[in-house]
Structure 1
Amino acid sequence: MDDEDGLLNIEISDDEANKNEDKAARRTEQTEADFQAVKRGYHAKVENGNVHAGITLPLPPGANKQHIQEVLHAVEELYFFRRYQEAVDFIVKVLHGASQALDENTKNLLGVYLSRCRERMCTPS
């Protein structure tokens, strides 16, 4: 069998490889001055149990997935920090004011958190 004319004898031109490298370089290219400007303005986002304070309620009827995820994250955070009464109050406010914006799965999940928070409040630690 002749290796020069084989089926797997494939050559890649340098132009295609350079195009891919150029595209990646343009996408990731950042000057040192740009990096330092970003570094000076960067502040780490610290979430310490107050995500629910930044959520405007009621949610609009056409609330997107990001808004709904933010509500769920706020409830989970309150539950994690064992702030059960605040979680109950927040869940009730969400369910009464924004029930049209929520899908059934989200309503069910909020209901689970509501019952768990109420159970935890009744159970001594």
Structure 2
Amino acid sequence: MVDLSEKLPHRIRIESFVETQDQKTGHITEEWSEFTTVWGKHEGLSTKDILQAQAINSTMSARCKIRYSKKAIQIDSTMRVLFRGKYWKIDGDPMPDNESGLEWITLNLAEGEASWQPQT
């Protein structure tokens, strides 16, 4: 396997939406919770890549490459990414690398919901 440690310089937090039920009241609470934090490489798309994404009705504007792991392969499009204080939604299924499919995973990212972003 290729050593990606120098190529994955960013801390990326993946969150999932979970429901919890209060034991006493039975009230169900829904909230975002940390699924995992990994090393990755977050990068914005080029203008050419954005135009290609728009041609297939995708709102993708960035991508994030992370190491393959048992935890990483559980990531799906219902989750979101937190990078440098900004939330991104995962646009489509994560994509494995083209060689072995066991080295890294690419997450295509779109702008997160306005309600997710910190109030400034």
Query: Under a length normalisation based on structure 2, what TM-score does the superposition of the two structures give?
Result: 0.22
TM-score (norm 1): 0.22
Q: Rg bigger for which structure?
A: 1
